């Protein structure tokens, strides 16, 4: 917000095109916002080495199930759902894709996932 307050708007002359807007600004702001005095650094751990044993046990418990799911996935099974999702997600974001664009993205995603499964085994 501070940077926007430092931007000066310059109105264009009547004899110039109205599509041209001139804006002058400085890279460095005129003044820096003050730092709150009660600001203190904190450190929050999200994982510790002491949790490693539990993490390995969790992984081992789900490993066979993960392998079964991974072995069932193939490019032909993943392509159609990926195509549908790619088309929907881009459209929801206001960027509808042409059919060829959606197919290309879905193919890249499906082949990438298919290759990653091959490398993991």
Residue 78 lies in a domain: yes
Residue 21 lies in a domain: no
Contact 22, 10 (CB under 8 A): yes
Q: Is 20 helix (H, G, I), strand (E, B) or coil?
A: coil
Provide the residue range defining the domain that includes 111. Answer: 62-120
Residue 29 lies in a domain: no
* pLDDT in single tens digits along all 121 residues of the chain: 566 666 666 666 667 666 666 667 667 767 777 777 787 888 888 888 999 999 999 999 999 998 888 777 777 888 999 999 999 999 999 999 999 999 999 999 988 887 766 655 5
Please tell me the total count of domains within the chain: 1
Residue 92 lies in a domain: yes
Residue 82 lies in a domain: yes
CB atoms < 10 A from the CB of 82, how many? 20
Whats the size of the chain, residue-wise? Answer: 121
């Amino acid at each position: 917000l501070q940077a926007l307050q430092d931007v000066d708007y310059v109105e264009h002359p009547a004899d110039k095109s109205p599509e041209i807007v001139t804006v002058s600004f400085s890279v460095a702001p005129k003044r820096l916002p003050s730092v709150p005095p009660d600001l203190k650094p904190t450190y929050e751990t999200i994982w510790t080495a002491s949790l490693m044993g539990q993490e390995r046990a969790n992984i081992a418990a789900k490993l066979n199930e993960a392998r079964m799911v991974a072995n069932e996935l193939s490019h032909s099974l993943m392509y159609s759902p990926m195509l549908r999702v790619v088309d929907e997600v881009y459209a929801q974001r206001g960027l509808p894709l042409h059919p060829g664009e959606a197919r290309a993205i879905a193919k890249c995603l499906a082949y990438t996932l298919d290759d990653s499964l091959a490398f993991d085994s």
